[in-house]
Structure formats: C-alpha cells, structure tokens
Amino acid sequence: MLRTQVGIVGAGPAGLVLSQLLAREGIESIVLEARDRAYVEGRVRAGVLEHGTADLLEAIGAGQRMRAQGLVHRGIELRFGGQSHRIDFAELVGKSITVYGQQEVIKDLIAVRLQQGGAIHFDTEAYAVDGLDTARPVVRYRKADGSGGELACDFVAGCDGFHGTCRNAVPPNQLAFFERTFPFSWFGILAETPPASQELIYTNHERGFALISMRSPSVSRLYLQCAVDEDPGAWPDQRYWEELAARLAGYDAPEVKPGRVLARGVTGMRAFVVAPMRYERLFLAGDAAHIVPPTGAKGMNLAVADVLVLSRALVAFYTSRRLDLLDAYSDTCLRRVWKAQRFSSWMTSMLHRFDAHTPFERRLQLAELDYVTSSRAASQALAENYVGLPLD
Ligand SMILES: Cc1cc2nc3c(=O)[nH]c(=O)nc-3n(C[C@H](O)[C@H](O)[C@H](O)COP(=O)(O)OP(=O)(O)OC[C@H]3O[C@@H](n4cnc5c(N)ncnc54)[C@H](O)[C@@H]3O)c2cc1C
C-alpha cells in the first residue's frame, strides 16, 4: 500500500499546482493520473491565464517558459455592429492577462514536479475513495497494465475533473448541485495560421458568436458558436473559414488567413457548481467541483485559485493542527466560484445569438454591448473580472 500525507487524484492544473504548492511547504503528496503523460501534456483546452495565475505559476517555479513564450495581452476587443471596441485592461485596472496554452502549463508543472522528485503515477485510475470519515482515507486504483493498489493518506484532494470519481464518493444527500446549460456549443479549431489580431476578439453577430484567439505567433485558436448537436464532420475546412469571415465582416474586419487545421472539437456551454466542495477528509477542487462556460476564460484559473486556498489550509493543519482554514475551504472557494459564474454567464449572454430572443431582447443585448464599451465604469468592471479578481 502506498502512503502519503495528501493523496491527489488527477494531474490537471488543479492537481499539479496543489502538489507543487505542498512540496514547497514540505508536505508530501502523491498524484494519481488515469491517463498517460503524453496524453495529458497534449490535451488542448484553455489558454488564458489571469494576472494572479501567471504570478502564482512563476512563484512556484513553473513560470520560466510561460514568461518567455506566453503572449502578454493588455486588453481584448468586443466586436458588434461590424465594429471593434477595445477594452484596455492596462489602462482601466493596471493589469494584463497571459495567453499560454493549458497543455504548456501542464508540461511545465510535470517537468518541475518530476525534477524535484515529486510522485506522479500516470496510467493509474482511481476507482474508489473509502474511509473519508476516518483519519486515514484510502484511494483505490487500477493501473493500465491491470494491476491495482491502494493509496492511504490523511486527506484526499479530488482534482479529477468533471467526469472524475471523487465527487461520487460523497453521499448524494450531502451535496447540492446547481446547473445551467446554454442552448448552443462552441466549435473550436486550432490552426496553423498567425493570429489575425494582437488581442482576442469576441464577436457578437446575427449569425452567431465568434472568437479569435491564439496560442503562439504562428498558431490561432478559433471558435464559432454552433448547435449543441453540431457534427464537426459536416464542416469541411473551407466552410469553417467562410463562416468565420462572415461573422467578422464589417469595418476594419480582422483577416484570418486559412491554415492547416491541427485540432477541432465541439465544447458544450455548461455552468455547474457542487456545494459544499468538501466532505469530511475529501476536498474537491477545479472542474470536479465546478464548470464555467468558457466565454469568461475562467476554468483553469478557478482550478488554480481553489488549490491555493486548499494548500494554505493544509499548511495551517500540518504546521499548527489548525482546522479552521480547512473548515472554511468550501465557503472561501465558493465565493470566488460564484463570482466567476456570474461573470461567465453575463459574457455568454451578452455575446451569443439566442434563437429564442425576441427583437426586444436582441436590442437589449446590443444596448448592453454599447454600454459596456462606452462607459468607463462598465468597461472597468469587465476588465477587473477578466484579468481576475484578487486571489486573497
Ligand atoms: C474541451 C475543453 C475545452 C476547454 N476550453 C477552455 C477554454 O478555452 N478556456 C477556459 O478557461 N477553460 C476551458 N476549459 C476548462 C479548463 O480546461 C478546465 O477548467 C481545467 O482543465 C480544470 O482543471 P482541473 O485540474 O480541475 O481538471 P482537468 O484539467 O480536467 O484535470 C483532471 C485530471 O484528472 C484525471 N482523472 C479523471 N478521472 C480520474 C480518475 N478516476 N483517476 C485518476 N485521474 C483521473 C484526468 O485525466 C485529468 O488529467 C476547457 C475544458 C474542456 C474539457
């Protein structure tokens, strides 16, 4: 049987950042990850790091490549009525964001953990968590080669994403679930083409939402609003490029040059929160506890914020047997989570086409965009949330 202080299930941003934060305080952990290393290092997902997330990665020794290769953005553009309007983060709130792919963050975190002797067990799927109401919970796992084992620990961190196992270890009557599903999805592609703009462009158009984003000076990440049941197979590349151009059309339209498509996929637009984020000796963090629609670029950032709170609570426990921060963990995280949900839902509602909208509601949506881009107070509120509310 393996034994450690904190058993961490999942080597996504939440699990890896937690393991690194704990190691820096002399607290042992073992990370169990269901997939192999190449898979988790290649999984293309989020790409916007809030100001505080970028600083934290640097502070834990995983920020060198991000600082060298990440793209610092001092604003974003909102495009509607065929025109772009800039929200200048630097001027409005004195902060910026860093565009750096989640898969690169993962590579950096794995490298630093392994360099420092950290234990990450790949190809190791947790299938049960027992004894949560005892002082020694146990995570049961099976490896890809068919063998199995147990990890005994003082605490379990459920960092295993939305489809993980840990949340299911909690008796259902101990949890409340909050959920909202939007009636559309995002069809995203990663393409070998230089970004058409220096900053992200969020577009509201009669044909549907479009987002121009990027991962590097030569790779773009592009999204189109699509139907929930959209079949990506029905979209030859040419159709995608034409639809994108149609949604960006107008004054000073950004010109996206078609390039080789490296990855494509449809992502649902869902908001989900479970409360509390703790059951006895199990602490849920990141997507295991909440999902936000990607319009606010908050998913990975929330995962990192959760484990920062958790690491502080665990440090207080191991250094002075204090339980108060562990007891406050769920409430502390949920305050931030609900503000991120509010912001993400607001951005999603403001920027997408809703088939059910009446002409009156459509005009309200355009008035909202007009207000946000013409009022300093409203622009500032958007900027403050987008770069990330303070981590404390
Ligand atoms: C397709 C997609 C696109 C996204 N795009 C964006 C975006 O553009 N912007 C944005 O902000 N956010 C985006 N997100 C959300 C963002 O990527 C997540 O919020 C973030 O990955 C959360 O990190 P996490 O560590 O909590 O979970 P994850 O990154 O999901 O990590 C969980 C880990 O646990 C492992 N695991 C699962 N079950 C087990 C088990 N039983 N045993 C062991 N290991 C297990 C998984 O393999 C995984 O490595 C996207 C998510 C998806 C799925």
Are both 37 and 116 inside the same structural domain? yes
Residue 215 falls within a domain, yes or no?
A: yes
Are both 254 and 274 inside the same structural domain? no
Residue 67 falls within a domain, yes or no?
A: yes
User: Is residue 392's pLDDT more than 80?
Assistant: no
What value does the mean pLDDT take over residues 140-157? 97
3-class state of residue 274 by DSSP: strand
Are both 121 and 23 inside the same structural domain? yes
Residue 312 falls within a domain, yes or no?
A: yes
Query: Computed over its alpha carbons, how large is the radius of gyration of the chain?
Result: 21
Are both 61 and 148 inside the same structural domain? yes
Residue 86 falls within a domain, yes or no?
A: no
- In ligand 1, which atom is closest to the CA atom of 125? 42
Residue 82 falls within a domain, yes or no?
A: no
Task: Verify whether ligand 1 is closer than 6 Å to residue 161 (CB atom).
Answer: yes
Residues with Cβ within 8 Å of residue 206, at least 6 apart in sequence: 353
Residue 87 falls within a domain, yes or no?
A: no
Residue 80 falls within a domain, yes or no?
A: no
Task: Verify whether ligand 1 is closer than 6 Å to residue 40 (CB atom).
Answer: yes
Are both 259 and 383 inside the same structural domain? yes
Are both 325 and 309 inside the same structural domain? yes
Are both 52 and 125 inside the same structural domain? yes
143 alpha carbon, distance to own chain's centre: 27
State residue 261's pLDDT score: 96
CATH number of residue 257's parent domain: 3.30.9.10
State residue 44's pLDDT score: 87
Are both 139 and 279 inside the same structural domain? yes
Q: What is the pLDDT of residues 30-72, one digit of tens each?
A: 999 999 999 999 998 889 999 999 999 999 999 999 999 999 9
Note whether 235 and 252 are within 8 A (CB).
no
What value does the mean pLDDT take over residues 249-263? 94
Q: Which two tokens stand for residue 173?
A: 């009557």
224: phi then psi, degrees, rounded to nearest 5: -125, 135
3-class state of residue 238 by DSSP: helix
DSSP 128-163: EEE-TTSSS-EEEEEETTS-EEEEE-SEEEE---TT
301 CA distance to ligand 1 middle (Å): 11
User: Is residue 114's pLDDT more than 80?
Assistant: yes
Distances, alpha carbon 91 to alpha carbons 2, 75, 94, 198, 383, in Å: 52, 9, 6, 17, 10
Are both 279 and 333 inside the same structural domain? yes
Residue 208 falls within a domain, yes or no?
A: yes
pLDDT-derived band at 169, boundaries 50, 70, 90: very high
- pTM comes to 0.96
Which residues have a catalytic role annotated? Answer: 73, 202, 294, 298, 386
State which residues form the domain around 141.
2-74+96-178+270-347
Are both 26 and 168 inside the same structural domain? yes
Cα-based torsion angle of the residue sequence 303, 304, 309, 312 in order, rounded to the nearest 10 degrees: 140
- Percent of the chain past pLDDT 70, that is, above it, reads 100
To test ligand 1's pocket by mutation, which of 213, 287, 290, 295 has the most ligand atoms within 8 angstroms of CB? Answer: 287
